[in-house]
Structure 1
């Protein structure tokens, strides 16, 4: 494939799948194996994890601080500094609505000013998860949503406020490693430094990764 380097962006592409097998089904994720035909005509086997996608929130107050949680993550055996975040597992809920819900659930906050900070795939070599990180400003206290019950890791999860500059330093020191936190911290710091904050995408901006996933899910249904 030839391309002008100045024009390189992420684009949808789909190689032919000659077999698809769900090896294991979990509560949130599935483990999939597919045989795929490459452009050379060869066949490769790829194993990957299906995922519903997620949102994260960089909640910035008027003192330049970010609301963070300190959450135990069993697969890596660490308690991580993270922004409020959650998976997109509720049918019919828009991404920004999920972000608003997660901010209330995990930080008991609401925000009047929302924008899209950055979109990413967390581990595209083997994980389907797409992630949208929002910037939330003009914060105020809010109750947890009706019916929400604190459970599992969240029963032992603290909330704190850290200056954005402190988070930047801790990212570069290797002391903050959650991908949502790293991406959100550096994207926000750069947006502020370059005067881009007021030019960020609106909260309902198109999210091509989600549109593509939904189309693939419908095709496979």
Structure 2
């Protein structure tokens, strides 16, 4: 009897430690926007200041008003990930990342933008495209959302004439498992790369 009671206690403790299921959708709708103004107009994106009512109070929030972006996780037949390295001025370094770009062409779909970026940045195209993951990069300071596509069946396209930071892009194909290991070791810190690679690793 004592062993049975002890077993029951262990099971009870196990059930108590299980996390509660979280809602997968936002259940709180946005509050009323009292005013919304561009307070700084930049070369690439703007800073917007919103005054909103929240819990019967008015609060002011400033954030980067972003166009949104797409990124491409390209995998070859050996399950190697296409990585690119280019200069990123805000962090003052050449960053390893995925081919990516802004959603700044009017009327262009997310998929078409991803296909365009793959051709423009690394002179490649893909036969097989699927949606991998979408996420908000910095919800406390920007409305940016990134849509990542998984691309397979890779082949070459004509060379694109690149400028500025894209003019000296370095391209490398790295085994997926090695990229995952580098992320977990802290060697790679680009958020889009990290989220996309871990999502692809979980799917595959």
Q: How many Å separate the matches in 2 of 1:168 and 1:140?
A: 24
2:30 matched residue in structure 1: 14
1:102 matched residue in structure 2: 117
The answer on 1:29 being equivalent to 2:29 is no
The answer on 1:186 being equivalent to 2:201 is no
Q: Rg larger in 1 or in 2? A: 2
1:8–1:102: structure 2 CA closer, same or farther, 3 Å change rule? closer
Task: Work out whether residues 28 and 52 of structure 1, in 8 Å CA contact, stay in contact via their aligned partners in 2.
Answer: no
1:139–1:125: structure 2 CA closer, same or farther, 3 Å change rule? same
Task: Work out whether residues 67 and 107 of structure 1, in 8 Å CA contact, stay in contact via their aligned partners in 2.
Answer: no
Deviation at 1:28, TM superposition (A): 2.1
Partner SS, residue 188 of structure 1:
helix
Deviation at 1:86, TM superposition (A): 0.5
With the length of structure 1 as denominator, give the TM-score of the two structures: 0.80
Query: 1:62-104: per-residue Cα shift (whole Å, max 9, x none)?
Result: 0110111011100011111111110011111111001111111
Task: Work out whether residues 37 and 43 of structure 1, in 8 Å CA contact, stay in contact via their aligned partners in 2.
Answer: yes
Which segments of 5 or more consecutive residues in structure 1 lack a partner in the other structure? 193-221
2:17 matched residue in structure 1: none
1:60 matched residue in structure 2: 75
Query: 1:154-182: per-residue Cα shift (whole Å, max 9, x none)?
Result: 11211111111111011111111111100
Count of matched residue positions in the alignment of Structure 1 and Structure 2: 185
Q: List structure 1 segments (4+ residues) > 3 angstroms apart after TM superposition.
A: 4-8
Partner SS, residue 61 of structure 1:
coil
Deviation at 1:35, TM superposition (A): 1.2
1:209 matched residue in structure 2: none
